[in-house]
């Protein structure tokens, strides 16, 4: 439960490192952390991180660029609005031009 666990901590830190107007996927994060099979746990970490604050969880989507976590945000379109406010075009819960906006920690870091 301590923040020294590493996994949650790393997920939080990495989420904070996501550049403005860019997005990444749970799988990419999990892979970068060496937990390639625990993509779901990244989502779980995000669930906790949103309470933590300062975590741009809206920049993390599934591998299709779909806003799979929008239901966990307040309201019904907060996540989409946050992305659009950063210049990310979102249509029907999906990030447009996803491949171009995709931020891969393995490559970028």
Partner DNA sequence: TGAATGACTTCGG
Partner DNA sequence: CCCGAAGCCATTC
Could you tell me if 8 and 87 are in contact, meaning their C-beta atoms sit under 8 angstroms apart?
Answer: no
Return the residue of 9, 22, 73, 84 that touches DNA, per CB under 7 A.
73
- What is the full DSSP assignment across 69-106? TGGGSSTTTHHHHHHHHTT--EETTEETTHHHHB--HH
The enclosing H or E element of 13 equals: helix 7-17
Question: Is 77 a binder of DNA (CB under 7 A)?
Answer: no
Contacts to DNA from residues 8-37, by CB under 7 A:
8, 25-28, 30, 35, 37
Shortest distance (Å) from residue 87 CB to DNA:
19
Query: Can you give the binding site for DNA, defined by CB under 7 A?
Result: 7-8, 25-28, 30, 35, 37-44, 46-47, 49-50, 57-58, 60, 62-64, 68-69, 71-73, 79
């Amino acid at each position: 439960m301590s923040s020294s666990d590493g996994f949650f901590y790393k997920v939080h830190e990495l989420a904070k490192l996501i550049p403005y107007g860019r997005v990444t996927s749970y799988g990419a994060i999990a892979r970068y952390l060496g937990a390639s099979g625990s993509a779901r746990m990244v989502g779980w970490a995000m669930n906790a991180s949103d309470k933590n604050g300062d975590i741009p969880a809206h920049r993390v989507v599934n591998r299709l660029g779909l806003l799979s976590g929008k239901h966990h945000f307040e309201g019904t379109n907060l996540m989409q609005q946050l992305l659009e406010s950063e210049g990310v075009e979102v249509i029907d819960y999906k990030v447009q031009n996803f491949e171009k906006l995709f931020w891969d920690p393995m490559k970028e870091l």
